[in-house]
Structure 1
Amino acid sequence: MYVCSCFGVTEAQVRQHAADGACTPRQIASASKAGTDCGGCVRRIQALLGRGTCPRRELIDRHAPALEQLDDAA
């Protein structure tokens, strides 16, 4: 099912980007362009992401370099 009809981004693609570490609508937008045109899909993306944990956010909260730490953990 399409989440973003402007760029043809599916729910499965959003879930894959989330599994790859994107945990905010802005990060999903960076990975797929979803939400960057009309913005009508942003709430759906937020709903798909839920309120789960975000590895990068947790690192930032600890004042650790988020990108380096996440790449090392992978």
Structure 2
Amino acid sequence: MYVCMCHAVTEARVKQEIDEGATTPRQIARGCKAGTDCGSCVRRIQALLGESGARPCPTARLAKRIGLAEQAAPQAA
């Protein structure tokens, strides 16, 4: 099954990148270009990373919603 239609990257190819050590969507993108065009496949890539035991990187919006967004540093007095 295709994960990235823009670059014709299959699920098997993404899993190969994971097996070769990729732990983030960015690392997968470096290896096979999946997720570098329209971005619609990034959630599936994150899910495949999660299935492999890697901690998937949430989008900034999701991170904020679930409380993982970076907190602003306290202002020095």
- 5+ residue gaps, structure 2: 56-77
Whole-Å Cα distance in 2 between the matches of residues 53 and 46 of structure 1? Answer: 9
Runs of 4+ in 1 over 3 A off after TM superposition: none
Give the equivalent residue in structure 2 for 1:38: 38
- Identical residues among aligned pairs (%): 69
- 5+ residue gaps, structure 1: 55-74
- Match of 2:3, SS state, is strand
Return the TM-score normalized by structure 1.
0.69
Structure with greater helix percent? 1
Q: Across the two proteins, how many residue pairs are aligned to each other?
A: 54
Query: RMSD between aligned alpha carbons?
Result: 1.5
Give the equivalent residue in structure 2 for 1:26: 26
Shift of the alpha carbon at 1:45? Answer: 0.2
- Larger Rg, first or second structure (1 or 2): 2
